[in-house]
A = this chain, B = another copy of it.
C-alpha cells in the first residue's frame, strides 16, 4: 500500500460494497468466495468484480476463489477504514444533526471533531459527544487540528461562503450536501451528495413507467438505474 495507486472512481465506489459483503460472509463462517458469488451478493457481474479487485489484489486462487479474511483486510487497508479521518461539519440543521449523530460513520473511519453553526441558540450545545461551536471559530480549529475534510450541510445560499472559509484554512476535501455547485481552487476535491438529482432520477422513472403503461409498452429499468 506504499505507492500512489490510481484507481477509477466507479471502482473506488464499489469497494466499500465488496467490503460489506465480505464482512457478512465472515459472520456466516465462510472462508472462500468466488467472484461470481461475491458479485451476486454485491449486485455487480462476475467480470466487474474481478476487474475491480485486480486493482488492489493479486491473490485469487483458481478453483478456490478469494480468501475472504485476507481480501477484507486488504480492502479495509486500501479504504483507510483502519485509519481515522478527522472532519468538521458546518450546519447543525436536521441533516447536519443526523449526519453528526450517525453511528455508522465511525465504522468507516470518519471522526467529526466539531459541528459549527451561526445560530447562537445552537452553539454551546452538543450532538452526542460532539460540541456545536460558532462559525467564527471554524478557521482557527481547522488550522490548529490540521483538519483536511469539511462537511457542508448549510442552506445553498451560505455554502460558497463556508467553502471559502474552509479552503482558506487548509481543507482539501469537501463533502457537500448543499444543493449548489461549489467553486474551489485546483487541488481541492468536492464530492456532491445531490439528493435532488437522485429524486429526479426516481420520479422520472416512475413517470416513464406510467406513460409506458398507458401505451401498453414495457420499460427497461436498467435505463435509469442507480449506482
Contact = CB atoms under 8 A, between A and B. Distances in A.
A20 B179 contact: yes
B9 A179 contact: no
A115 interface: no
A56 to B, nearest CB: 11
A113 interface: no
A190 interface: yes
Interface in A1-25: 2-4, 6-7, 9, 12-17, 20-21
A203 B85 contact: yes
A7 B224 CA distance: 8
Interface string A178-212: 01111100111111111111111111111111011
- Interface size grouping (class) on chain A: 35 or more
Given A13-B194, A80-B207, A199 B98 contact: no
A64 interface: no
Interface string A206-227: 1111011001011101011111
Nearest to A20: B179
A43 interface: yes
A224 B189 contact: yes
A97 interface: yes
Q: Which 5 pairs across A and B sit closest by C-beta, in order of nearness?
A: A191-B226, A98-B98, A43-B181, A13-B197, A94-B98
Given A94-B101, A189-B205, 10 more contacts: A12-B224, A13-B194, A17-B181, A20-B180, A83-B203, A97-B98, A175-B198, A189-B221, A192-B226, A194-B227
